[in-house]
Amino acid sequence: MCGIIGYIGHRQAREVILNGLKRLEYRGYDSAGIAVIQDGLGLYKKRGKVHDLELLIQDLELNATSGIGHTRWATHGVPSDVNAHPHTDSQSSFALIHNGIIENYDVLREDLEKKGHTFHSETDTEVLAHLIEEIQKMGSLGFYEAVQQALLQVDGTYGIAVVHEEYPDQIIVARMGSPLLIGIGEDEFFVASDASPIVGYTQKVVYLEDEEIAVITRDGYEVSTLKNVPHTKEVHELALSLEQIEKGGFPHFMLKEIFEQGDTISDCMRGRVILNENRIQLGGLDGYVDKLLKARRIIIAACGTSWHAGLVGEYLFEYLAHIPVEVEYASEFRYREQLIDENDVMIVISQSGETADTLAALREAKKRGALVIGICNVVGSTIARETHAGVYTHAGPEIGVASTKAFTAQVTVLAMMALLLGKENRTLSEESMKELLSELDSIPEKVNEILKDTSEIERIASLFTYAPNFLYLGRSYNFPVALEGALKLKEISYIHAEGYPAAEMKHGPIALIDEHMPVVVIAATDHTNEKIVSNIEEVNARKGRVISITSNGQSSVNRLAEFSVTIPETHDCLTPLLTSIPLQLLSYYIAVNRKCDVDQPRNLAKSVTVE
Ligand code: G6P
């Protein structure tokens, strides 16, 4: 979703900002813009890629050492040059960039129009710029005070950065519901919506909290609340390195991230799977395990791929620890009758740690007294900070918009949590624990085995590149994998795909099956194998094209399926960690064949910070 970068210091602002915007591209966007202060305000914006903006300004003589830049993902108003950020006041004396949504923008706009303001864009952001102008004019206030007052009048969410031509040595930033951090360098400062654009310049950051506003100058920064209470901020050290966010020789971030999964699953388990003591150690849950065991139920809330990981978690918690689990779309949960209280535990799962709906579900559950535990990838993200306790996935930065390594890391964390609780709850014998821990420990090696030879998946992808529809079927632990496989294909190749529990096929999707319909059948769990074999027969009887994902030993499936991708065997409950990999690759190769923008698929955003 929209991205923010700002700079003030001694370097050429244009370079820092363009580099930053390129690093923000992964969030998903449709236009980009930049404002610098150099003999007045210089403002340049363009629909399209950051590269288009770069071409627009490449011949300009820009010597500014401060400025702001933005990638926009349209919410109010179509993607266009004029709707791109930054936006300005009527005199174009200041420029503002904004992530989030000003919910009362229409009321404010009507009022401002009556007062003579003319708007050029359809955005909510431009309303904020004019509101600041109006307040400054009417109240004879300083610019900073006017920004402060304007923010007190808006409803909704924002992360903003503002530069003013009369104050070339300052950037004003503020946050409400949309992440923002200040990077601290040597005589230079950065502002960004996440750490990726500033890595390589500095590792020191402070995270702004909701309702905080800051003035950044060349000499330092001051943070206070919107109501002027000064705040001293803790400086954090980023664990992110430059290499981690570069492609490392792969043509796309997504492929790099798929291939990293042997390592990321290992990183996720490091120091947590203690084989010689036959136990799981999750420091982030210290002091909370009892509450989890006594929970009336666990509610898992998440969105997108993280929701699919949550569904796998439901099977794992119920099977290994006998704890009842409900999995909710965070966006639905927050608007339902709230029957959650202190007897329940909520687990929120989020790669970015910033998804607006997941954050809202978390806050709702917390307000009603439930213990809230987070499973996040981005260290220091809002969700990670607001939960009572949590477990990081440690998958490293995920740049490809379609989530891959974050999913397998989330499932790994959920498996570790379920094993920990199963052992404590005595629903797992020492013997079973031992077997499962050693299976879990061998998963990275098995992932690497799948990744060693991708030729069969590439061949299947080339045969089905132009299929208009796909059906994905799975049972039990692999039903959520079917959903995830279908989502991956939709996201990056724009092919219509649906995931179904295999037995549900008879209740509708079977009507779609003919000789043109590829049906991906995930048949890797022993205890549902016979049933899945019948499902394959049913597809074959209607001339559907079965592509099966099976474990080595499942010869009956391999015999019946037109195409088979075999994966190493593991315990049934851990199969999603393996079956998801060929499905990620299948969607990747199909999208590449279709010449789609794999890392930045149209209309999608990496981190959905609006509701
Ligand atoms: C967006 C992303 C998905 C992601 C979902 C939830 O839709 O494109 O890849 O699964 O948000 O994001 P989260 O960061 O909360 O896991």
Ligand 1 atom closest to the Cα of residue 304 is 10
360 CA to middle of ligand 1, Å? Answer: 15
98 CA to middle of ligand 1, Å? Answer: 21
> Residues 177, 211: contact at Cβ < 8 Å?
no
User: Residue 283 sits in a domain of what CATH number?
Assistant: 3.40.50.10490
Has 2 been annotated as catalytic? yes
Nearest to 48 by CA among 85, 80, 12: 80
pLDDT of 522-571, one tens digit each?
Answer: 998 766 677 788 889 889 989 999 999 998 767 778 888 999 999 999 99
Has 596 been annotated as catalytic? no
Whether ligand 1 lies within 6 angstroms of the CB of 65 is answered as no
| Domain stop point among 244, 275, 292 | 244
Q: Where are the alpha helices (DSSP H) in 170-297?
A: 253-259, 261-269, 289-294
Mutation pick for ligand 1 pocket among 327, 334, 352, 597 (CB with most ligand atoms within 8 Å):
352
Classify residue 263 by its DSSP letter: H
Please check whether residues 478 and 359 belong to one and the same domain. Answer: no
pLDDT of 131-181, one tens digit each?
Answer: 999 999 987 889 999 999 999 999 999 999 999 999 999 999 999 988 999
Please check whether residues 195 and 275 belong to one and the same domain. Answer: no
This prediction has a pTM of 0.80
Task: Tell me which amino acid residue 578 is.
Answer: L
Residue 441 maps to a domain: yes
330 CA to middle of ligand 1, Å? Answer: 12
Whether ligand 1 lies within 6 angstroms of the CB of 492 is answered as no
The label of the residue with tokens 């849950």 reads 285
pLDDT of 87-143, one tens digit each?
Answer: 999 999 999 999 998 999 999 999 999 999 999 999 999 999 999 999 999 878 899
At CB < 8 A and 24+ separation, what contacts does 363-368 make?
364/333, 364/334, 364/338, 364/340, 365/299, 365/301, 365/340, 368/338, 368/340, 368/341, 368/342
Name the token pair of 286. 């210290």
Task: Tell me which amino acid residue 35 is.
Answer: A
305 CA to middle of ligand 1, Å? Answer: 6
Task: Tell me which amino acid residue 525 is.
Answer: T
Please check whether residues 438 and 466 belong to one and the same domain. Answer: no
Q: Which of 182-191, 247-256, 439-448, 583-592 has the lowest mean pLDDT?
A: 247-256
> Residues 160, 211: contact at Cβ < 8 Å?
no
| Domain stop point among 244, 269, 301 | 244
Q: Is 179 helix (H, G, I), strand (E, B) or coil?
A: coil
Residue 354 maps to a domain: yes
Name the token pair of 204. 């020191």
CB count within 10 Å of CB 423 equals 21
491 CA to middle of ligand 1, Å? Answer: 11
User: Residue 198 sits in a domain of what CATH number?
Assistant: 3.60.20.10
Please check whether residues 373 and 479 belong to one and the same domain. Answer: no
Q: Is 310 helix (H, G, I), strand (E, B) or coil?
A: helix
Catalytic-labelled residue, pool 2, 376, 573, 596? 2
Give the 3-state secondary structure of 509-574: HHHHCCCCCEEEEEECCHHHHHHHHHHHHHHHHCCCEEEEEEECCCHHHHHHCCEEEEECCCCHHH
| Domain stop point among 431, 452, 473 | 452
If you average pLDDT over residues 586-605, what whole number do you get? 94
Mutation pick for ligand 1 pocket among 403, 484, 487, 584 (CB with most ligand atoms within 8 Å):
403
Give the C-alpha separation, 119 to 77, whole Å: 13
Whether ligand 1 lies within 6 angstroms of the CB of 576 is answered as no
Residue 577 maps to a domain: yes
Domain carrying residue 122: 3-244
> Residues 520, 549: contact at Cβ < 8 Å?
yes
Q: Is the pLDDT of residue 1 over 70?
A: no
Ligand 1 atom closest to the Cα of residue 406 is 16
> What's the pLDDT at 322?
96
Catalytic-labelled residue, pool 49, 256, 488, 606? 606
Whether ligand 1 lies within 6 angstroms of the CB of 355 is answered as yes
Mean model confidence pLDDT for the chain: 93
CB count within 10 Å of CB 5 equals 31
Domain count, the chain: 3
> What's the pLDDT at 432?
96
Q: Is the pLDDT of residue 598 over 70?
A: yes
218 CA to middle of ligand 1, Å? Answer: 36
Whether ligand 1 lies within 6 angstroms of the CB of 351 is answered as yes
> What's the pLDDT at 553?
67
If you average pLDDT over residues 62-76, what whole number do you get? 92
